[in-house]
Structure 1
């Protein structure tokens, strides 16, 4: 058995796209240190609506708004530690509320999963370092940061943990140790800068091998990476891991961190065609990340 989650036997297993992408499409300005997580406090209904957009597009799993949520991030805005903890828990409960609404409207469809997002340390910094992994921290400092959120999210109703956009071997090793003692299964996805290397320059194949023996990690893969790199990266994964292979790339557009704007275009049908190639290469869990909206997930779902 690869997993305790029977829903994952429905392949290809389609997950959601970029939560921030849909929130911005709703008209929300996310230029903020907490990014999507600020709406946990300001407009929780908007998060539920965004999750529902992906569920209605065919997603079988939605990822919570906790990617950039942390105790330090919330307390820096004046919240108490207790209020910060509750806000992180609320990210999962908002996703659960969306699933409950969807399932009530679609009772014959199996109940979608909720994955609690665990973003990299660089997401908390909000300075683009989540795409380099160059934090200048010790393993102990990274462990202290991630331990808090993992403990909080593991105690929620989430079905699994989604460790996302991990840029470095160092951070992956720390998360691997922490995940091994959690009660929930997890997936871990790297951000990659080309067809062979994760963002810190380490080989993807070597990075994956470090995680292969962790029974709590049920899937390994790639997210927030340009889609043109995926065929080669999936090929590397298929020869390295026996776990499920998960990929949810960005649209291939370029993000300019100084202006916090995107440049480029991406077509949902082109994305759907590309997803067929990812599945044929060995990926079994498919979705989208930045700039991949419900229309992309609908196209992937309907064509696969």
Structure 2
């Protein structure tokens, strides 16, 4: 099974991921202080989601990630949507990405066509209480497998190139994702963790153990860190490199702290205004797949072309 990232690595030595979806939507006027977060706009303003995808592609992103992070059957059900409606909205998240890619390729053709990654957010995202930054779910691995299985199936069947299993806060959820991925032959994915410091994932478990857990899993083609403060990333990359031969993927936030109660971002205590300066450090440390998470913008992603 050929690694989906290989053509980009062969062409220029690295892969550029896109940046934030929800906070970019908010910067364009969307009101997302809601349990469904960016998935809310799948019904309210899908064209704005497509425009954000398009802008990241024009900025140079090699991968765009669907607006399905917060899209789960349980989350939609809590907000009055039927199972059929939930499926339609998950399918729409992929459709918007494909349409944006088709439009971008017409105005800016690429030697290597960008990829579409189906976003699979953590169980904690469906709780809308910040649990993805704690990992203290109190549920079984089997429960987590059941939570993820059907939504992953829907996204895979839309034809996305790979899955982005992101902001994973604990080993149990990584185990669940690893086991569910094995049920879908031919599917490739990355798994990225939310980390609380330069050594531990959000649950307090060692990042090294998370990497080792996924090292021998063929379906997982990259392991990484996302929605984590930039100052922790270099150390985490080095831990990753020491424990796997897989590609290390990073897409941190801009350093602000998320208040899950009020659903707002608090100012950073450190200065990370120059995204490319941090990205060059991460690239030198061994990460070959780099993008941005919350608060990053198409302007930040455009800077990543300077890595070459």
Bin the TM-score by the shorter chain: over 0.9
Q: Does 1:43 align with 2:40?
A: no
Question: Aligned residue for 1:224?
Answer: 227
Question: Aligned residue for 1:20?
Answer: 22
| CA displacement at 1:268 relative to structure 2 | 7.2
Stretches (4+) displaced over 4 A: 265-269
Question: How far does the alpha carbon of each residue in 1:226-280 deviate from its partner, in whole angstroms, 9 at most, with x for none?
Answer: 0100111000001101111100001111111222111225877621011111011
User: Cα RMSD (Å) of the superposition?
Assistant: 1.6
TM-score (norm 1): 0.96
Question: How far does the alpha carbon of each residue in 1:46-104 deviate from its partner, in whole angstroms, 9 at most, with x for none?
Answer: 10001111111111110000000011222222222111111111111111111111011
Question: Aligned residue for 1:7?
Answer: 7
Contact 2:272 2:278 in 1 (8 A): no
Contact 1:221 1:246 in 2 (8 A): yes
CA distance 1:193–1:288, shift in 2 (3 Å):
same
Distance (Å, rounded) in 2 between the aligned partners of 1:167 and 1:123: 11
Q: Does 1:270 align with 2:268?
A: no
Question: How far does the alpha carbon of each residue in 1:150-172 deviate from its partner, in whole angstroms, 9 at most, with x for none?
Answer: 11111112100000000000100
Question: Aligned residue for 2:161?
Answer: 159
Which stretch of structure 1 is more off in the superposition, 22-31 or 73-82? 73-82
CA distance 1:220–1:84, shift in 2 (3 Å):
same
Q: How many pairs align?
A: 304
Contact 2:279 2:290 in 1 (8 A): yes
Distance (Å, rounded) in 2 between the aligned partners of 1:258 and 1:22: 20
Contact 1:268 1:299 in 2 (8 A): no
Q: Does 1:287 align with 2:279?
A: no
Distance (Å, rounded) in 1 between the aligned partners of 2:302 and 2:109: 20
5+ residue gaps, structure 2? none
Question: Aligned residue for 1:82?
Answer: 84
Question: Aligned residue for 1:259?
Answer: 262
5+ residue gaps, structure 1? none
TM-score (norm 2): 0.94
Distance (Å, rounded) in 1 between the aligned partners of 2:263 and 2:181: 32
Which stretch of structure 1 is more off in the superposition, 73-82 or 241-250? 73-82
Q: Does 1:301 align with 2:301?
A: no
Contact 2:36 2:70 in 1 (8 A): yes
Question: Aligned residue for 1:249?
Answer: 252
CA distance 1:143–1:274, shift in 2 (3 Å):
same
Distance (Å, rounded) in 2 between the aligned partners of 1:248 and 1:189: 9
Question: Aligned residue for 1:135?
Answer: 137
| CA displacement at 1:294 relative to structure 2 | 1.1
